[in-house]
């Protein structure tokens, strides 16, 4: 998209059906306030794609050389800028996040996240609250942070609501240990960042929780 800086806005319509034209017109004329978020990152050039060197098959073999570093995990690991990041999406209004709370409920073994979201603009709209988790001192190379939960909130102008996201601690912190042939939850400090895109900005808020004992587990 070499023309990206030459236009005032970009409307990405994805896969259209019979009502595509009407849907686009509703957004362009302001009858509908868009609230979609990108489910992938847009690189600045094709060579920046994490699968660029191993996308095709060669001699009937395909190598998944990117391993777990796919999408935003790859770009953040290499500190490489993207055109548009995973989770990005604008609307005709603006939002602000306040009062983040992160609680590790050791009884239910869940991470309970809450944050107040306010519509700071003049148009009713919706925002997607995204919760990313990162381990501070992992024993292996892990992604910088990973999306572990999200929720969507609809707000009138000036309205605010407390949004809650609850995730299971073992799914938010574990990785597969090939040597032990099991999932592992490592004793460590984990940071939770609540944001509206995977490329954190001034609206992003962070807090941490502790895993006190290393555990192994199998199954689902």
Q: What's 114's domain CATH number?
A: 2.60.40.10
Expressed as residue numbers, the domain containing 60 is 36-89
Domain boundary among 74, 89, 104: 89
Q: Are 68 and 118 members of one domain?
A: no
Q: Does residue 15 lie within any of the structural domains?
A: no
pLDDT value for 187: 97
Contacts of 66 (CB under 8 A, 6+ apart): 50, 51, 54, 74
Q: Are 53 and 117 members of one domain?
A: no
pLDDT value for 14: 84
Q: Are 120 and 84 members of one domain?
A: no
pLDDT value for 147: 97
Q: Are 81 and 102 members of one domain?
A: no
Q: Are 162 and 189 members of one domain?
A: yes
pLDDT value for 82: 95
Q: Does residue 77 lie within any of the structural domains?
A: yes
Q: Are 115 and 208 members of one domain?
A: yes
**Can you give the pLDDT of all 220 residues of the chain as single tens digits?**
889 999 998 999 888 789 999 999 999 999 999 999 999 999 999 999 999 988 888 899 988 989 999 999 999 999 999 999 999 999 999 999 999 999 999 899 999 999 999 999 999 999 999 999 999 999 999 999 999 999 999 999 999 999 999 999 999 999 999 999 999 999 999 999 999 999 888 889 999 999 999 999 998 7
Q: Are 124 and 190 members of one domain?
A: yes
Q: Does residue 20 lie within any of the structural domains?
A: no
**Which among 213, 218, 145 has a CA at the least distance from the CA of 177?**
218
Contacts of 204 (CB under 8 A, 6+ apart): 97, 193, 194, 195
Number of domains in the chain: 2
Q: Are 162 and 188 members of one domain?
A: yes
Q: Are 101 and 85 members of one domain?
A: no
pLDDT value for 220: 77
């Amino acid at each position: 998209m070499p023309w990206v800086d030459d236009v005032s806005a970009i409307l990405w319509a994805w896969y259209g059906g019979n009502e595509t034209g009407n849907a686009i017109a509703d957004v362009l004329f302001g009858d509908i306030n868009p609230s979609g978020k990108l489910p992938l990152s847009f690189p600045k050039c094709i060579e920046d794609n994490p699968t660029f060197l191993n996308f095709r098959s060669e001699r009937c073999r395909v190598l998944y050389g990117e391993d777990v570093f796919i999408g935003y995990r790859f770009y953040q690991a290499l500190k490489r800028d993207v055109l548009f990041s995973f989770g990005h999406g604008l609307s005709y209004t603006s939002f602000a996040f306040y009062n983040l709370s992160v609680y590790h409920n050791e009884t239910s073994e869940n991470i309970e996240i809450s944050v107040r979201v306010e519509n700071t603009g003049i148009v009713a709209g919706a925002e997607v609250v995204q919760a990313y988790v990162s381990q501070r001192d992992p024993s292996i190379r892990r992604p910088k942070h990973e999306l572990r939960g999200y929720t969507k909130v609809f707000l009138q102008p000036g309205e605010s609501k407390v949004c809650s996201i609850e995730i299971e601690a073992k799914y938010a912190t574990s990785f597969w240990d090939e040597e032990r042939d099991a999932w592992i939850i490592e004793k460590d400090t984990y940071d939770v960042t609540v944001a509206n895109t995977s490329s954190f900005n001034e609206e992003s808020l962070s807090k941490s929780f502790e895993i006190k004992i290393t555990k192994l587990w199998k199954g689902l």
